[in-house]
């Protein structure tokens, strides 16, 4: 083959290879663009995809220079002095005196000892006993709320005000079943505390206790609300305590439990202690209960409560099984007073009360509260079980008899788990 012909053939072959390569590249680009178009059409978010966000908590690292100012913390009082200034003038110190008669020592009954002491040992000895507590002035007319155990049996009651004035106090009325008492003093321009709402208290709220512990003088302690609605402590017949870790000691009884705004939310009443001093478990009567007792004592001289005339007790699993009921909720009637409200309504010994006024009764305290709440003369609905069968009846409530002041709620028959309602 001539050289020129061979050269032409090589040039033609090279041209064809280049043409095929360009055609292949063009086809590949076209297919790639088509595939990209399809992907973008089907998944448009691919064009806006962002880097993953890393969440950083507020206190994990220090804020960067570009970050805004940190959120402001909830403001808290630097001092409770304003609250104390509002409430403390209305908190008083109470000093009582009573004459106590002590019987002769039983050892003096021994004939041998009587030879030495003669008949002198038979004579009872009398001594003057003093005690102290606190109270709260609740009206310009001179009414003071305090605990019943602070003034119980006292023959003389002296009240010392925050401004230095003193006055003799008279007992307007007492309610041993809530351990509350109302006194009155005849002084003018009296400081009066502001009532708050115990129903709004939350566990963790700050409270202050003001009183006269150990007679050292008016003292303020701070703490929080540890619990609300404490019952079944065996302190009083009717219980609904605010529990607090604010230090409450002997002499604080009857004093004020206040909010950081200076409002009264409770009357300090008792402590749980193995040593006699504060161990961070104190109890106060909520102001809602105290106001009701105050109003009734001022109006009637005593507290009016409903009474059914039955002796009741809690139900345990063994009793529930023996009486053919599926639950230990409810109360068992252990006795019925002759011709009392329960007897006239048809209640019998051995009946189990499960509900009063269509509210479930869990135990003796629930039943007592429901009956006491009913106004004397009104009719209440009682649901229960008799011989394994349900019953419903109406009972007309009478007024609850007065409980002896020297009787604890667990000493029956007028208070406690086995008492007459």
User: Catalytic amino acids?
Assistant: 149, 179, 253
Phi, psi of 381 (to 5 degrees): -90, 135
Using CB atoms within 10 Å of the CB of residue 59, give its burial: 0 to 12 exposed, 13 to 18 middle, 19+ buried. exposed
- Count of positions (residues) in the chain: 421
Instruction: Give the Cα separation of 370 and 355 in Å (integer).
Output: 9
Instruction: Give the Cα separation of 200 and 203 in Å (integer).
Output: 10
Instruction: Give the Cα separation of 358 and 370 in Å (integer).
Output: 10
> Do residues 297 and 182 touch, judged by C-beta distance below 8 A?
yes
Contacts of 159 (CB under 8 A, 6+ apart): 92, 93, 94, 95, 135, 144, 166, 167, 168, 169, 183, 185
Whether the bond into 129 is cis, omega within 30 of 0:
no
Instruction: Give the Cα separation of 252 and 208 in Å (integer).
Output: 12
> Do residues 393 and 368 touch, judged by C-beta distance below 8 A?
no
- 224 C-beta neighbours (distance < 10 Å), count: 14
Backbone dihedral region for residue 229 (phi beyond 0: left; psi -120 to 50: alpha; all else: beta): left
């Amino acid at each position: 083959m001539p050289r020129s012909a061979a050269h032409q053939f090589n040039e033609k072959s090279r041209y064809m290879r280049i043409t095929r390569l360009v055609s292949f590249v063009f086809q590949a680009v076209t297919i790639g663009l088509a595939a990209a178009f399809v992907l973008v059409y089907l998944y448009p978010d691919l064009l806006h995809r962002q880097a993953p966000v890393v969440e950083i908590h507020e206190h994990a690292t220090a804020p960067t220079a570009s970050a805004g100012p940190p959120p402001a913390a909830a403001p808290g009082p630097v001092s409770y002095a304003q609250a104390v200034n509002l409430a403390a003038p209305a908190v008083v110190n109470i000093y009582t005196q009573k004459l106590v008669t002590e019987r002769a020592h039983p050892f003096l009954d021994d004939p041998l000892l009587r030879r030495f002491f003669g008949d002198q040992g038979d004579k009872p000895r009398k001594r003057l006993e003093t005690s102290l507590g606190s109270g709260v002035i609740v009206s310009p007319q001179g009414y003071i709320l305090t605990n019943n155990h602070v003034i119980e049996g006292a023959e003389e009651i002296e009240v010392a005000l925050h401004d230095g004035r003193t006055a003799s106090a008279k007992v307007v009325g007492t309610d041993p079943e809530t351990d509350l008492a109302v006194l009155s003093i005849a002084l003018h321009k009296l400081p009066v505390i502001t009532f708050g709402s115990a129903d709004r208290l939350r566990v963790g709220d700050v409270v202050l206790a003001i009183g006269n512990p150990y007679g050292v003088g008016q003292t303020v302690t701070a703490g929080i609300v540890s619990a609300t609605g404490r019952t079944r402590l065996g302190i009083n017949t009717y219980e609904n305590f605010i529990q607090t870790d604010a230090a409450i000691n002997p002499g604080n009884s009857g004093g004020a439990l206040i909010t950081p705004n200076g409002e009264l939310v409770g009357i300090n009443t008792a402590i749980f202690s193995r040593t006699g001093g504060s161990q961070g478990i104190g109890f106060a009567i909520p102001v809602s209960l105290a106001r009701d007792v105050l109003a009734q004592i001022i109006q009637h001289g005593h507290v009016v409560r409903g009474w059914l005339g039955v002796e009741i007790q809690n139900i345990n699993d063994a009793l529930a099984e023996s009486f053919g009921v599926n639950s230990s909720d409810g109360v068992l009637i252990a006795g019925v007073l002759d011709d009392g409200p329960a007897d006239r309504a048809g209640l019998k010994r051995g009946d189990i009360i499960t509900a009063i006024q269509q509210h479930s009764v869990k135990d003796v305290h629930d039943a007592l509260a429901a009956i006491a709440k009913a106004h004397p003369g009104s009719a209440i609905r009682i649901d229960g079980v008799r011989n394994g069968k349900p019953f419903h009846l109406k009972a007309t409530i009478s007024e609850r008899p007065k409980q002896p002041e020297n009787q604890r709620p667990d000493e029956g028959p007028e208070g406690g788990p086995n008492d007459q309602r």
